Structure 1
Amino acid sequence: MALTHARTAEPAPPGFPDWSHTARQAAEAVPDQAIDAFCRALNHVSAAQLYLTDNPRLARPLRPTDVKETPCGHWGVCPPVNYMLAHLGPLTARRPAGCEVLILHGAGHAGPSALAHAYLNGTLRLTGDGPGWSMPELRALIAGFPHPERFGGEITPLIPGVRHTGGQLGPALAVAQGMVLDAPHRLVVPLVGDGELETGATAAAWLARRALHGSGDHGAVLPVVLANGMKMGGPSLLAGMSEDEVRGYFIGLGYEPLIHDGADLPGFRRLLAEAFSRLRPLGTTGRQPVLVLTMPKGHTGPQQVAGRQIAGTPAVHKTPLKDPRRDEAEFEALEAWLASYRPVELFTTQGRPTDLVRQALPGPAREPETTRPSASLDSQHSRPWPDASAVIRERATNKAFRLFSPDELASNRLQLSTGGSLPPWAVEILNEEICHGWLQGYTETGRDALLATYEAFAPVNTSLLIQHLKHRRLRYLTGQGGLPSVNYLITSLGWHNIYTHQNPGLVSSMLESEDGFVHVYTPADATRAAAVLALMLAGRDRVNFLITDKHPGPSFPPAPFRDELTDGAAVWPHLSHRGLPDLVLASAGDVPARELSTAATLLRRSHPEVKVRYLHINDLSVLGPAPRWPYALTNQTFSRLFGTDTPVLMAVPTRPGTVRALLAARGETSRFHVVGYQEPSRPTTPEGLLEHCGLSAAALSARAALMIKEHCG
């Protein structure tokens, strides 16, 4: 049922799109019958993908041979998703001039729905470059599902129009918020499952919008909760709440809940128009609308088969009918199920949507147009190097930039304004996942962003980043490259922190992903870190992690830095002997550079006869082999730097095993001794941690001397 009481909508701010006019236009231009036909078409194509090999519009009686040997895929969430897509289509088609509407799939299990929507929208191509609407295309879509080599059965950017990989469970609402920041022309509608409401990322995102008050001019987010009652294995927590409790829950969060079960199509259209009239920019005070659609999971599917209950049980999550090709009762149920959509009214003999369906279609989505400043090595070397704070402030002056942080900007010693106050382009909220969701949404829509965080807390986002790497990889395969890079500034390192704040695990996981988009930057000092940060913010199609200590440290001669940037590693002449070395010393990161450079000086004094080559690694990812790592050191450059049989002592700020794995992939398993973070058994001092890890200057010098003795016999 619909919400019975409604507030008087407050006036929209000047310049904010008139979304209520959009709703009125759609109501006048598109009859209810067209919305219903569009919804039936989506449901039919979704179900047909799970079950059929032929006869896509049921132009003749269904035969067992039309049914797949092994039905597979997910049905349950498709009907409520399709219901929303059908109602949003006419609104999207009539959006205000210069505006855009983006729909975000929160859960990945609506893959058949996303494919059906792409087909009906005319953007899907399966059989070549011909028309998107044709009977060969429709047959290929249905018979080929789940298209394991082309699309897969889940929500991925391989499906046209998809901007968020649904398997990344939880952050859809935060990603939607990130998409509308600094974009007043944009409306994003995240479809959030009631199971997804149980995740920490979604739970925090409702409250997170309060952190955006006064942070600029933004677009609008219209969250839609698909309260279908079921998770994968049973009832959701939301399903155990009464309507009054659901209403009270969202009102307490600062929203205006509009609740409907989808049974009354004209009533739902009126409710959706009401929601559009209440849209306000993200970050403004006052209640925002949230739609709660209580349509049951698997709605319009079979209720019972041969006395077995299907509706309202976990059976609707995937394929409700397991073997209709051979089971007579299930075959009859499938035939009645598909026939209930009356597909001959929805598709012509050529596989085109009928005129009635086409009245409700949204039309192809538009890619946003963005302009971004660019930087190059030459431009960075033509001016003095600023510190990281100056780089961030300068990038912010060029607009289309956001800095997100979990309440740690001051702690990380980032000075963003002369008065010490937080500028509007910087937002803090004590939640790593929300910061990542905002970052992801902002960059996905073509703008630069940076997430600054403590090293120890960054690993909270490991799963989100792994999923987003998958999303970016697939997006790139479709030719949709050119997105701004995902940038993490990781500081407050464990080398200077307390026991509970010691965990370099995020970059270890990122390197273990062996994803060529990943770069882990480990500059030697603050000026190098600032220059690396400037290049990160100007780059595209990368996922960058900059590891730099917030505490002051030594500065090193700048001459080798250009090679450190271009190659990822370079020799430091001021610490190296001429000719072939007896030992190679290699540092990565500022704390290791401080300790290992001191060790090199100690070694010169204690072993003046030993020839040393010292080099610094600015990007750990270059140590891996090509082509797995596209920016890897060439074999020739690797040999020039590290030699071919010379022992190497390498000091890194990460766990050493990750770096050893990169070297082992090159076949280097014996002559490299890698020293890095090792978990202490109890709290210790920064000096004690260095000693525990063998990373103090004294320990490194002693280890170097031992390696020389072992190598020279």
Structure 2
Amino acid sequence: MTLSLPATDRAGAATVFPDWEQTAAQAAARVPTEAVGACWRALNYLSAAQLYLADNPRLARPLRREDVKETPRGHWGVCPPVNWMLANLGPLAACRPPGAELVVLHGAGHAGPSALAHAYLTGALDQAVGTPGWSMPALRALTAGFPHPERFGGEITPLIPGIRHTGGQLGPALAVAQGMVLDAPHRLVVPLIGDGELETGAMAAAWLARRALARGDHGAVLPVVLANGLRMGGPSLLAGMSGEDVRGYFTGLGYEPLIHDGTDLAGFRRLLAAAFARLRPLGEPGRQPVIVLTMPKGHTGPNEVAGRRIAGTPAVHKTPLKDPRRSDAEFTALAQWLASYRPAELFTAQGRPSDLIRQALPSPRQQAPAAAKPAPAMGGQPWHRVSAVIRERAAAGEFRLFSPDEIASNRLNLADDGALPPWAVEILNEEICHAWLQGYTETGRDALLATYEAFAPINTSLLAQHLKHRRLAYRTGTGGLPSINYLITSLGWRNTYTHQNPGLASAMLELEDSFVHVYTPADAPRAAAVLAAMLTGRDRVNFLITDKHPGPAFPPGPFRDELTDGAAIWPQLTDRGRPDLVLASAGDIPARELTAAAQTLRTTRPDVTFRYVHINDLAVLGPAPQWPYGLREQTFARLFGTATPVLLAVPTYPAAVRALLAARGQADRFTVVGYRDPGRPTTPAGLLEHCRLSAPALSAQATHMLKEHGR
């Protein structure tokens, strides 16, 4: 959630780390504490009202049962501490230095009511609810329509104005924040981290991960831990630690913990000012501040009802009162709860926030358009061209390469002296690399993650969640972001048994997501050209699968069609006329083996006509409308025929490719050969034999298919 007008990441960006200490001093002088408190009450009231009210959104008259929703839905518990932070950060965003930007990143996806309430108060929700400005119809639409299943949903997504990160990815919020401020000295990101999230591997690694980032022109990250004591179903591990232990924990991580329970608003504003005074650019040595807010989960809600304890129990997580429309005790509790915020003081009869509240609010967010970059040129020897593409893109600026300690292993030569350039970062954690990549691209800059094929599947869940985020953002008209780019090499075909798992590509294809492209070029020159296109693209999630070891280079003539259509016929291996068998490859190792098999078949079966097709993007095998970039039926028939048997060799698990073909109704005539787990260690040659992907095995399979079809 952006709490200010953002500075562009390009022209006009600040070149000096902003004076956030001065910002805090100005905010304290300009905005009275009473305004911040009123804003917090308004956010809490709107959060609770969205869960429960079908009408009477301002409580202009005493609550009636018909004002209450039949079935309350949503999450309450996380809202009060999130609202506390939003209310306290608003004045700081409003008083930010010229050109600076303050972004709030929601780690927990359940704070949807908070984000919607904040968007209403700031005016960012105006057009989204279809009414001009603040109004009573707009306020009623906000509360009665929650969880807005056809518009916003009830959780944190980019459908809510100002959201830059979909909460609920479970763990990467801190690392995403780090990625957002890399090379952006004007930006401060405040990730709101649930104490349950602290128990995830990605979050645990992110505290240490900042040490992997070199000093440079970076912004700052101010982590805020919402230590509210509870996970969804019970006490968090952090809740079992004493204050001394919590302080020792964060001190040991290299941070300066600033702990507050939220009972003293003026005191918390002083603590927040102290945190701003201690901010350092990411990568700077020394302790960074971290705020630990120990406000109880569900604070300001009901403590107990009819002898049932609510506060301090998992009951506060969702709707603390389950059926207030029918339960007398719960109805009374709800009326008292909502009235405790004194909403008539907070909103005018026209649905406008009071003058006092508006003093504490930032400006609504506006998105700066991203500028396109020219495609880099290529040069050098085959695999070196891949490195050259990366280096040339980095030279154009606003680019980062992230890798889990595998740049050298993946044979990427990024500097003439062999050193690691400042724009490349290594850390032995796939999830952190993805989160950095996600944060960097989400703020309009290009990036690449280079990793081993076997370990890339660790990020499957993060990618699936981020694809949901991008789909929703695209629906709001805020697309045009740089693509998510993965360079997947050190392939299992040449690696040990434990390093064989091409599962990420399969998982991404199974999502049937139109953003996904799985590139399988036939050689290193083609891989370099594909990578250059990836690094200048927008609104895609690209996976380039390519072998880092030397291999054959194939005639470049058909490559233009491979790049534009996703697949092309190779004339040098194709006979005239209608073929008896189509041979198709995807990926460099399958192309190496299948072209060798084709040469053998042309010698041993001169009476048979063949067509050879290479597939540069597996995603084009899928049909419309699920795959809008898929091959048109006419093109698919031109490449693969309509009744001809096809032998298809792929570098992935074959099942996902079969599913794409089955969706076209074409699976019966395709024999797809790909990776099969050997169940034991074996040599690269042995693995190809086991998977029936060696040239002799493919030749034998082709001969068998010809016999089956009477040839």
Same fold (TM over 0.5): yes
Q: How does 1:314-333 map to 2 (within 5 A)?
A: 314-333=314-333
Q: 1:92 to 1:250 in 2, by over 3 A?
A: same
Look up the match of 2:694. Answer: 696
* 1:314 partner letter: P
Report the alpha carbon displacement of residue 533 of structure 1 after superposing the two structures with TM: 0.2
Structure 1 position 706, deviation (Å): 0.9
Distance 1:31 1:295, change over 3 A: same
Aligned partners of 2:655, 2:649: CA distance in 1, in Å?
12
Q: 2:225, 2:292 within 8 Å by CA — same for their partners in 1? A: yes
1:595-606 → structure 2 map (5 Å cutoff): 595-606=593-604
The CA distance in 2 between the partners of 1:369 and 1:277, in whole Å, is 32
Task: Confirm whether residue 186 of structure 1 aligns to residue 163 of structure 2.
Answer: no
Mapping of 1:198-217 within 5 angstroms?
198-214=199-215, 216-217=216-217
What are the equivalent positions in structure 2 for 1:492-641 lying under 5 Å apart? 492-641=490-639
d(CA) in 2 for partners of 1:139 and 1:572? 63
What does residue 464 of structure 1 align with?
462
Name the amino acid aligned to 2:351.
G
Match of 2:177 in 1: 176
1:427 aligns with 2:425: yes
Q: Tell me what 2:707 maps to.
A: 709
How far the C-alpha of 1:579 sits from its partner, in A, is 1.2
Secondary structure at the aligned position of 2:583 is classed as strand
Q: Distance in 2 between matches of 1:293 and 1:87?
A: 12
Cα drift, residue 131 of structure 1: 2.2
SS at match of 1:291: strand
Whole-angstrom CA distance in 2 between matches of 1:634 and 1:127? 36
Aligned-pair CA distance for 1:536? 0.1
Tell whether the 8 Å contact from 2:383 to 2:550 is kept in structure 1 after alignment.
Answer: no
Check 1:127–1:389 CA distance in 2 against 1; reply closer, same or farther (3 A cut).
Answer: closer
CA–CA distance in structure 1, aligned partners of residues 303 and 585 of structure 2: 65
* Equivalent position of 2:9 in the other structure: none
Return the letter of the residue paired with 2:160: I
Aligned to 2:348: 348
Matches within 5 A, 1:391-402: 391-402=389-400
Deviation at 1:129, TM superposition (A): 4.5
Deviation at 1:605, TM superposition (A): 1.1
Distance 1:202 1:620 in 2: 33
Which residue in the other structure is 2:16 paired with?
A: 15
Deviation at residue 14 of structure 1 after TM alignment:
9.1
Aligned to 1:358: 358
1:676-691 matches, within 5 Å, as 676-691=674-689
Mapped pair 1:263 → 2:263: yes
Closer/same/farther in 2, CA of residues 600 and 642 from structure 1, 3 Å limit: same
Q: Are the aligned partners of 2:370 and 2:480 in contact in 1 as well (CA < 8 Å)?
A: no
* SS of aligned partner of 2:436: helix
Q: Structure 2: how far apart are the matches of 1:531 and 1:117?
A: 45
In the TM superposition, 1:7-156 aligns within 5 A as 15-125=16-126, 129-156=130-157
Aligned 8 A contact 2:15 2:186 in 1: no
Q: CA deviation at 1:644?
A: 0.5
Superposed displacement of residue 384, structure 1: 11
CA RMSD, 1 decimal: 1.5
Residue 578 of structure 1: CA displacement? 1.1
Which residue is equivalent to 1:279? 279
Give the structure 1 partner of residue 10 of structure 2: none
- Give the partner amino acid of 2:586: A
C-alpha contact 2:383 2:524 (8 A) present in aligned 1: no
Q: Quick one: distance in 1 between partners of 2:556 and 2:340?
A: 73
Q: Does 1:375 align with 2:372?
A: no
Q: Secondary structure at the match of 1:102?
A: strand
DSSP 3-state at the match of 1:33: helix
CA distance in 2, matches of 1:260, 1:167: 25
Tell me, in whole angstroms, the C-alpha distance in 1 between the residues paired with 2:80 and 2:329: 23
Rate the CA distance shift 1:448–1:604 in 2: closer, same or farther, 3 A: same
Per the TM alignment, residue 681 of structure 1 is displaced from its structure 2 partner at its CA by 1.2
- Cα shift readout 1:163-192 (whole Å, capped 9, x = no counterpart): 111121110100000000000000000000
1:94: how far off? 1.1
- Asked whether 1:222 is paired with 2:222, we answer yes
Shift of 1:128: 5.5
Aligned residues, how many? 697
| Alignment match, 1:252 | 252
Alpha-carbon spacing, 1:271–1:368, altered in 2? closer, same or farther (3 Å): farther
In 2, Cα distance between the equivalents of 1:711 and 1:410?
49
Cα 1:338–1:35 change in 2 (3 A) is same
| Rounded Cα–Cα distance in structure 2 between residues aligned with 1:591 and 1:493 | 10
Q: CA deviation at 1:365?
A: 1.9
Q: CA deviation digits over 1:665-707, x for unaligned, max 9?
A: 0001211000000011111100000000000000000110111
The residue that corresponds to 1:309 in the other structure is 309
Q: Secondary structure at the match of 2:157?
A: coil
Q: Give the deviation of 1:149 after TM superposition.
A: 1.0
**One-letter identity of the residue aligned with 1:80:** P
Question: How far did 1:385 drift?
Answer: 10
Distance 2:460 2:211 in 1: 25
* Separation in 2, partners of 1:698, 1:684: 18
- Runs (4 or more) in structure 1 with deviation over 4 Å come to 126-129, 383-386
State the AA in 2 paired with 1:256: E
Deviation at 1:386, TM superposition (A): 6.5
Q: Residues 219-244 of structure 1: CA distance to partner in whole angstroms, max 9, x if unpaired?
A: 00000000000001110000000111
Find the residue that maps to 1:670 and give its secondary structure. Answer: helix
Q: Tell me the secondary structure at the aligned position of residue 629 of structure 1.
A: coil
Preserved contact between residue 382 and residue 524 of structure 2 (Cα < 8 Å): no
Structure 2 distance, partners of 1:530, 1:652, is 20
* Residue 366 (structure 1) shift: 3.4
Query: Aligned to 1:387, which of 385, 389, 396?
Result: 385
Give 1:83's aligned amino acid: W
1:370, CA displacement in angstroms? 4.4
Task: Give me the whole-angstrom Cα distance separating, in 1, the residues matched to 2:128 and 2:431.
Answer: 40
**Cα pair distance change 1:127/1:491, threshold 3 Å:** closer
> 1:494, 1:324 → 2: CA distance?
58
Structure 2 equivalent of residue 10 of structure 1 = none
Query: What SS class does the counterpart of residue 103 from structure 1 fall into?
Result: strand
Question: What is the CA deviation profile of residues 100-141 of structure 1, one whole-angstrom value per residue up to 9, with x for unaligned ones?
Answer: 001000010101101001100101146755423110000001
Q: 1:525·1:556 contact (CA, 8 Å) conserved in 2? A: yes
Q: 1:706 to 1:414 in 2, by over 3 A?
A: same
Query: CA deviation digits over 1:420-439, x for unaligned, max 9?
Result: 11000000000000000000
Secondary structure at 2:667 match in 1: coil
Distance in 1, Cα, partners of 2:666 & 2:95: 61
